[in-house]
Amino acid sequence: MHSLPKPTDIEAAALRLAPYAQLTPVLESRALNARMGCRVLLKAEMFQRTGSFKFRGAMNFLLQLPVDARARGVVAFSSGNHAQGVAAAAAELGLGATIVMPKDAPVAKIAGTKAFGARVVFYDRQVDDREAIARRIVDQTGAALLRPFDDAAVLVGQGTVGLEFAQQAAEVGVTLDHVAVPCSGGGLVAGVSLGFLAAGAATKILAVEPEDFDGMGRSLRAGRRSSASGGPMSIADALMAPTPGAIPFAVAQQTLAAGVAVSDAELARGVAYAVQVLKLVVEPGGAAGLAALLSRKFSCGSTVGVILSGGNCDPERLAACCHRWPEP
């Protein structure tokens, strides 16, 4: 493996992405503070382009592609948020994009991907190998393969979320004790940990995963890459990698405080709380950190941060979560 990403790489990525990515807001709720007995700052990445943090990593990767490689386009595999991030970044730079997506991906994510002009190739997640499908397309076209998390450039782009969050907290005189970050393959949480280090913040970064997909937490406890059972499916469609990526885990071993797991019921409460109390649309995967906070899976300290990583949620899912938790 090449040398691992460093905090200085996050700073370079932030400069690279400045003309393209949104500076997303940090929000605060008196009701949430009162409920938790501490100050909670929410980094609202659902206001990023395409509705999730994924645009950052995709754009950072594509901006570093050689000009001759750009002409052959890009291929990605994703359940939705990475798909939309890649499609939007490719469209911004005038590149062709082919996205391999599960046929049961949320309708909003499929529509969002197609809206950016990407070609969508569907697969069945129960029987097909999405990486093999993507690799065949790469072999046929010579396009670049843009992985969702196990890539240094992608991880570094995602890490700009953490650098921004630390800087925004510092601007209001706050040092965050913990930050809860949704985790699938680990690109976001590992990148965020480097972003906080780049800002000089001694904040404990926590990976939050669905139960049965908590590969990062298991890996941290075992001291080596380990896999969760990977089933049954979670309502957090964006967080269903049972094993962390090699690069994210190598970083996480050095930088993360811990990993915690949340149930589907707890994820649904996070979504319902976001809608009913915070007045925010957050998808189940994006609400994982909030779910862990509400379920008191970690100690708050005096000030805690939560990254709300995405808001691409079908209305039916929002309604189901709110029905399940009328008083979250």
153-175 pLDDT, tens digit per residue, is 999 999 999 999 999 999 999 99
Q: What is the pLDDT of residue 306?
A: 98
pLDDT above 90: residue 299: no
* Closest to 172 in 3D by CA, of 305, 312, 285: 305
Verify that 178 and 276 share a domain, yes or no: yes
Residue 60 belongs to some domain of the structure: yes
Q: Is 2 a domain residue?
A: no
What pLDDT score was predicted for residue 106? 82
**Rounded mean pLDDT, 298-302:** 88
Do 174 and 99 fall within a single domain?
no
Instruction: List the CATH number of the domain containing 88.
Output: 3.40.50.1100
Q: What is the value of pTM for the model shown?
A: 0.95
Which of 127, 145, 163 is the C-terminal boundary of a domain? 145
Residues listed for the chain? 328
pLDDT band at 78; cut points 50, 70, 90: confident
- In-domain check, residue 220: yes
Among candidate residues 98, 126, 145, the one where a domain is terminated: 145
Same-domain pairing of 285 and 241:
yes
21-46: pLDDT as tens digits: 999 999 999 999 999 999 999 999 99
Q: Are residues 206 and 245 in the same domain?
A: yes
Q: Residue 14 falls within a domain, yes or no?
A: yes
One domain for residues 261 and 237: yes
The whole-number pLDDT of residue 229 equals 95
pLDDT in tens, 48-60: 999 999 999 999 9
Q: Which of 157, 156, 150, 221 is nearest to 186 (CA)?
A: 150
User: Do 67 and 207 reside in the same domain of the chain?
Assistant: no
Owning domain of residue 275: 7-52+151-324
- 197 and 275 in a common domain: yes
Residue 269: which of 284, 252, 247, 279 has the closest Cα? Answer: 284
- Whether residue 107 sits in one domain with residue 211: no
Is 22 in the same domain as 159?
yes
318 and 214 in a common domain: yes
* Claim to verify: residue 230 and residue 309 sit in the same structural domain: yes
The residues facing 100 across adjacent strands are 77, 121
Model pLDDT, residue 2: 66
Q: Which of 92, 115, 145 is the last residue of a domain?
A: 145
Give the count of domains, the chain.
2
Looking at the fold, whether 119 and 33 belong to one and the same domain comes out as no
In a domain, 312, yes or no: yes
Domain membership of residue 1 (yes or no) is no
